[in-house]
Structure 1
Amino acid sequence: MVGAKMSNNLPCGRFEMRISESLQPFIRNGLKGCEKEGLRISREGSISLSPHPVQLGAALTHPNITTDYSEALLELITPALSDGSEMLGFLTNLHRYVCTNIDDELLLSASMPIGDLRSSAIPIARYGSSNIGRMKHIYRQGLSYRYGGCMQVIAGIHFNYSLPESFWLEYQDFTKQPGDPQSFRASAYMGTIRNLQRYGWLIPYLFGSSPAVSKSFVDGRNSAYSNALEKFDETSYYKPFATSLRMSEIGYVNPVQASFRVSFNSLDEYIRDLSKATSIPYLDYERVGTKVGGKYRQLTTNLLQIENEYYTSVRPKQLTRPNERPLRALSNRGIQYIEIRSLDIDVFEPSGISIETTRFLEALSLLCLFHESPAHDIRQYDEVKHNALAVANKGRDPALKLLNKGQEVHLRTWALILCDQLQEICEALDNGNKARPYTQALHKQMEVIRHPELTSSAKMLATMRDQKLSVAELVLQKSREYTSHFQKTPLDNSVKRDFDLQVANSLEQLKRLNNASEIPFDEFLGNYFSKIPEPAKFPGIDRKASQVR
């Protein structure tokens, strides 16, 4: 039975696992949510230059429809629900509502952007004249200076997962672990995150959907890693065995953030290290300046402006209160849920993600919770990074070997061992359902492991070859198809009324915020950044050593 953490003898062994019957009812009530990004584009494929549509409400105050970096980069947010089908149904309804309220535009069906990707051609998101609205806009300006707009309009899906309070009370009692419940839960979630990092290479292998990018992206990204790409056709570049170029060096990987490490060995260490990163000035960012000619360019000149700037495949989250820093929320109230951030938008799914994917991720998260999760040392940290990049760049290469505790192991061997260990969890989640939805989702992914040509990344390249399409032509074709699909399947009247009311409420809230009497913005910003103690300098980091290219 799951009591003490299960030991892991990978890559050469397997173990039996039994989930206590007392825990099974609680793991079936885990909460699932999605945050799905997507660019608004013209029917010809260019990024929309129009403001966030007023028909969708106010991006600052709408709970389910907002924007990310750009006015054109929508973010659709579902509530956290115990029923995964209900959660995806909500996401589908959001797509229906959006696609009927963006005039003649389309919602891009892929993670990697197309069109004119020069930073000057990408409109940065605006959130009104309130202090918090100005702060969100200036933060995005800073991202543009630091990384360029091309990188910032890469889209993805975040899968959020948590277990109910009742589970944690039962689990702590079952494991006979001392201490206060919040600390116990934080420790367990951080262990889950470390294991999701160890085994997280499985996610881009199975669900990566960006093996190719447009020439405009290569030109706009202007990365030293672009030379490693091969030419697919006159306007497309790719890697033959790539699964997720979004998660590769040409995507989110950043040399400045690679210059420091953030520990996931405990919540305290995580908060400590991110606090440091938001407090240490960096020379190239100092050259950009914070406020030049009376106008803000970025929030700070530190390694990170705010903690959300840190790019990682999975992170602990706690809902924030008005004007509360995420680190302060974690420090005060612990971890509420985990956020898996390595999912590409699936080009072959209208909503970008399938129910089978969410079921697999739920089961994988539980496996990572129950697995033994030793602290990361430098070797483990480097192995996690090596494996993630190897799978992103060449995950479908049949000869690919990953590193596990210093040993090489074939990806397929390791992946099937993990799936074998997932079977008991999936059976528990099925709870006697004759359709066995979780087990079926697992078996589907096991087939994908045995047959790499079934991956979304492989199917994408095969479709491009068979139909003689560039990557931009393929995703534009799918974007037209899905936008039309959502427009032709109208919402129920009651659902539409609820969404219309949210739009009206969000616009009214924004109006009140913009008209409210507030303290001067400089004072507001000073107060915001004063809420985390000043940390010591990172050991071994020379802030003058690296240059941003």
Structure 2
Amino acid sequence: MTLSLTDYIGAFSQSENLAAVAGIGRGIEREALRILPEGKLSEHGHYHQLGSALTHGQITTDYSETLLEFITPVSHSPEQAIAQLQDIQKYTFDNIDGELLWPMSMPCFVTDAEKIPLAQYGSSNIGKMKTVYRQGLKNRYGSMMQVISGIHFNFSFSQDFWQVQHKLHQTEKIESAVGKPLPLDDFISDRYFSILRNYKRFCWLIPYLYGSSPAICSSFLQGKEHNLPFKKTPFGTLYLEYATSLRMSDLGYTSAEQSTLKICYNNLADYVAGVQQATKLKSKDFAGIGVKVNGQYQQLNDNVLQIENELYAPIRPKRVAKSGEKPSVALGERGVEYIEVRALDVNPLSDTGISLEQVYFLDIFLTFCAFVDNKEFDCSAQKIHESNMNDVVLRGRDPELLLSDTNNQGDVVLKSVTTWGNEIFEQLKLVAELLDKAYQTSNYSAAIVREQAKINDANLTPSAQILTAIQEQSLSQYALDKASKYRQQAKERDYQFYSQTFFDESVPVSHQAQADIEAADVLNFDDFLADYFA
């Protein structure tokens, strides 16, 4: 006997379990390039009044000094998460001297990728390590790839939620006389990995519904080889007719070197072992770069992954690590704490790059992934799911597209986006009704109606809307109009969660924290790296 979707919904619909459903934790990380009002990439370093990029809790940088990253803490309502992001952006706009935030994933017009400045984090060993890591990324993949922006959505269920599920599974095992129930902590990690597998199976839905990068500025290619059949708008923008998310394609944020890695999502132990092996696996291509050349580090090492963060994946299991602790060690010792969804383009139709309506749908989708049981799969089955993803990002709105699903017997079955999408949405409706009941709202059922309409009419998707818009104006002008509008809205909006005082006081605190880290260093950088990788 295996618990079904309806079994879970029936159990969690009980009045004593509803509060457990409403304990979802959410955090958002939004990346955004700083640009000048005319559309060029800013050449200004990270602004001092935004705090230390190394230690500030809400505002940091990603690959470049000009690529900002905004981070919200864990919140327990979708509205609060969006309000926090709006507040962070409001403070940022007030302190970047009239610059704008590029509202799309694929970068703005860049004349020379070599001039994109690496992010700097001060003179501490950990600060230097972060910059050298980025130097390695530049040498391995090029700067244009690294300034592609995205949204990371961090998601967790409450302890009460897992306790209810744990009890259900204990009862199931006792009744069916199958095995011994797992301890709660191991059970939680096991169920998070079940979510990861279901996400891999169904995540083609995410770029179909929310992909917002069907087109690129011609400057993005800068001689990069490809075999994509690009068309050109009257304004010179390159696009694919049915694409949804070029950011998630081989042209975007991917690594051919990592394609040979066999990191599967069947259980925590195998995943951790796979990631750790990848950080020790030598790369012939990357060895050609050199590590320390003429006294200057060109990368942290010549392994397939310099560090674990270099693993490109649409979703990751995560655990908050202690200072200096590797992510895989934190996972292996204390289990999965939350999951990080990474397949989201920056949404140019939203001032925060992710809309409140998207958060409602992600709540439904990830809860669905927690309620649909699945079997472990080998890497060949995982490749089928990855192939679906690749097809959707390049031609997701093509009415001729067929995706590969597996039936109960394990046979591959071909389905159209419309057929399979509607099958999934019939199940998602049940989850939405449960969440509506738990949160005493109708927002989740409304999200289902809104998103299912896109399944049945591809013209409603953001990628289709963007392609329609850029037939009338250039991609740059389309994005600049949005950027200017969002800056004005942010400056006119009052703070909702944070306050001006909060941000003003956080800046000197963050700079002092960086200074303290620098003062505490006792090793030289070479010895620090040797210790870290020991």
1:184 is paired with a residue of what secondary structure?
helix
CA distance in structure 2 between the partners assigned to 1:117 and 1:291 by the alignment: 29
1:18 is paired with a residue of what secondary structure?
helix
- The equivalent position to 2:163 in structure 1, one of 166, 169, 173, is 169
Output aligned runs, 1:79-90, within 5 Å. Answer: 79-90=73-84
Q: Residues 32 and 160 of structure 1 are in contact (CA less than 8 Å); yes or no, is this contact kept in structure 2?
A: yes
- The equivalent position to 1:206 in structure 2, one of 209, 226, 239, is 209
Closer/same/farther in 2, CA of residues 434 and 266 from structure 1, 3 Å limit: closer
Q: Residues 131 and 518 of structure 1 are in contact (CA less than 8 Å); yes or no, is this contact kept in structure 2?
A: no
- The equivalent position to 1:181 in structure 2, one of 174, 181, 184, is 184
Closer/same/farther in 2, CA of residues 521 and 80 from structure 1, 3 Å limit: same
CA distance in structure 2 between the partners assigned to 1:432 and 1:191 by the alignment: 23
- Measure how far apart 1:192 and its partner are: 0.1
AA of the residue aligned to 1:182: D
Q: Which residue of 2 aligns with 1:475?
A: 479
- Measure how far apart 1:186 and its partner are: 0.6
- Measure how far apart 1:409 and its partner are: 0.3
* Cα-Cα RMSD: 1.8
CA distance in structure 2 between the partners assigned to 1:116 and 1:169 by the alignment: 51
Correspondence 1:448 to 2:454: yes
Q: Deviations over 1:20-73 (max 9, x none)?
A: 325432121110111000000111111111111111100100011111000100
User: Taking structure 2 as the reference length, what is the TM-score of the superposition?
Assistant: 0.94
Correspondence 1:464 to 2:470: yes
- The equivalent position to 1:113 in structure 2, one of 107, 114, 118, is 107
Closer/same/farther in 2, CA of residues 428 and 17 from structure 1, 3 Å limit: closer
Q: Which residue of 2 aligns with 1:347?
A: 348
- The equivalent position to 1:74 in structure 2, one of 68, 71, 74, is 68
- Measure how far apart 1:279 and its partner are: 0.1
Correspondence 1:224 to 2:226: yes
Q: Residues 419 and 442 of structure 1 are in contact (CA less than 8 Å); yes or no, is this contact kept in structure 2?
A: yes
Q: Residues 111 and 210 of structure 1 are in contact (CA less than 8 Å); yes or no, is this contact kept in structure 2?
A: yes
- The equivalent position to 1:485 in structure 2, one of 482, 485, 489, is 489
AA of the residue aligned to 2:10: R
CA distance in structure 1 between the partners assigned to 2:332 and 2:236 by the alignment: 48
- Measure how far apart 1:527 and its partner are: 1.6
Q: Residues 34 and 158 of structure 1 are in contact (CA less than 8 Å); yes or no, is this contact kept in structure 2?
A: yes
- Measure how far apart 1:376 and its partner are: 1.7
AA of the residue aligned to 1:455: T
AA of the residue aligned to 1:521: F
Range with bigger deviation, 490-499 or 292-301: 490-499
Q: Residues 80 and 497 of structure 2 are in contact (CA less than 8 Å); yes or no, is this contact kept in structure 1?
A: no
Q: Residues 126 and 137 of structure 1 are in contact (CA less than 8 Å); yes or no, is this contact kept in structure 2?
A: yes
- Measure how far apart 1:253 and its partner are: 2.5
Closer/same/farther in 2, CA of residues 419 and 492 from structure 1, 3 Å limit: closer
AA of the residue aligned to 1:366: T
Q: Which residue of 1 aligns with 2:37?
A: 43
- Measure how far apart 1:19 and its partner are: 4.2
Range with bigger deviation, 70-79 or 488-497: 488-497
AA of the residue aligned to 2:453: E
Output aligned runs, 1:378-527, within 5 Å. Answer: 378-405=379-406, 406-431=412-437, 435-465=441-471, 468-491=472-495, 495-527=499-531
AA of the residue aligned to 2:489: H
CA distance in structure 2 between the partners assigned to 1:117 and 1:387 by the alignment: 34
Closer/same/farther in 2, CA of residues 494 and 237 from structure 1, 3 Å limit: closer
Q: Residues 16 and 421 of structure 1 are in contact (CA less than 8 Å); yes or no, is this contact kept in structure 2?
A: no
- Measure how far apart 1:110 and its partner are: 0.5
CA distance in structure 2 between the partners assigned to 1:121 and 1:517 by the alignment: 31
**Identity across matched positions, percent:** 36
2:470 is paired with a residue of what secondary structure?
helix
Q: Which residue of 1 aligns with 2:46?
A: 52
Closer/same/farther in 2, CA of residues 417 and 16 from structure 1, 3 Å limit: farther
Q: Which residue of 1 aligns with 2:177?
A: none
Q: Residues 19 and 438 of structure 2 are in contact (CA less than 8 Å); yes or no, is this contact kept in structure 1?
A: no
CA distance in structure 1 between the partners assigned to 2:458 and 2:61 by the alignment: 34
CA distance in structure 2 between the partners assigned to 1:323 and 1:69 by the alignment: 20
Q: Which residue of 2 aligns with 1:283?
A: 284
Q: Deviations over 1:464-501 (max 9, x none)?
A: 22xx2111221112111111221222436961111111
CA distance in structure 2 between the partners assigned to 1:490 and 1:420 by the alignment: 40
Range with bigger deviation, 122-131 or 231-240: 231-240
Closer/same/farther in 2, CA of residues 432 and 314 from structure 1, 3 Å limit: closer
Count of aligned residue pairs for this structure pair: 518
Q: Deviations over 1:322-373 (max 9, x none)?
A: 1111111111111110010001111111111111111111111011111112
- Measure how far apart 1:401 and its partner are: 1.0
1:512 is paired with a residue of what secondary structure?
helix
Q: Note the residue ranges of structure 2 that are not aligned, 5 or more in a row.
A: 174-180, 407-411
Q: Residues 45 and 115 of structure 1 are in contact (CA less than 8 Å); yes or no, is this contact kept in structure 2?
A: yes
